[in-house]
Structure 1
Amino acid sequence: MTVRSVRVAATKRPTNVSLRSDLIEEARQLDINVSEACERGLSEEVARARRERWLEENRAAIEASNAYVEKHGLPLARYRMF
């Protein structure tokens, strides 16, 4: 599954987070923008959680569809050219 990153023009809000001090120090030495890195990581985690939630909420429909195809085949298979 491909994850597409969508940048949304949203206002930023100061937030306090606790991070390991050795990690912060190494990030600074490597000229990594900690705020951007945290935002990117949080964005990826939100996308992962959304995918998991969607799959869970739609699990019954997915299973029903898979069972139908397993029993009857693809609905429009006779029109396939390959």
Structure 2
Amino acid sequence: MAHATAAVSRKATNVTLPVDVYERAKELGINFSRACEQALRDAIKAEEGRRWAQENAEFIKNTNDWVEKNGLPLAEYRMF
């Protein structure tokens, strides 16, 4: 993933961290930009998933109710 992000334009930003976190990461040689980027990508993915589930909750409930009542469509053709 690090190679894929190298071609993307970058935006400099400031991040405020607790001193102990900063010092420990620095001691361990952790790349701050990459670590923050990955954490933000993970947070974005989680938030997008949460919002999608919230926005589609009624559809998901209706579909689950229908399957519970009628069974899976084409279930008779399942090979497992």
Indicate the TM-score class for this superposition, using the shorter chain for normalisation: 0.7 to 0.9
Residue type matched to 1:40 in 2? Answer: Q
In the superposition, the TM-score normalised over structure 1's length comes to 0.85
**Which sections of structure 1, spanning at least 5 residues, go unmatched?**
1-6
Aligned residue runs from structure 1 range 18-37, under 5 A: 18-37=16-35
In the superposition, the TM-score normalised over structure 2's length comes to 0.87
**Which sections of structure 2, spanning at least 5 residues, go unmatched?**
none
Q: What is residue 75 of structure 1 aligned with on the other side?
A: 73
- Percent identical pairs in the alignment equals 45
User: Which structure is higher in helix share?
Assistant: 2
> Structure 2: how far apart are the matches of 1:81 and 1:37?
44
> Structure 1: how far apart are the matches of 2:46 and 2:56?
15
> Structure 2: how far apart are the matches of 1:68 and 1:13?
47
> Structure 2: how far apart are the matches of 1:33 and 1:44?
17
Which runs of at least 4 in structure 1 moved beyond 6 Å after TM superposition?
Answer: none
Aligned residue runs from structure 1 range 35-46, under 5 A: 35-46=33-44
Aligned residue runs from structure 1 range 4-19, under 5 A: 7=4, 9-19=7-17
- The number of residues matched between the two structures is 76
RCO (CA 8 Å, sep 6+): is it higher in 1 or 2?
Answer: 2
Aligned-residue CA RMSD in angstroms? 1.3
> Structure 1: how far apart are the matches of 2:65 and 2:73?
12
Select the residue among 39, 46, 54 that pairs with 1:56.
54
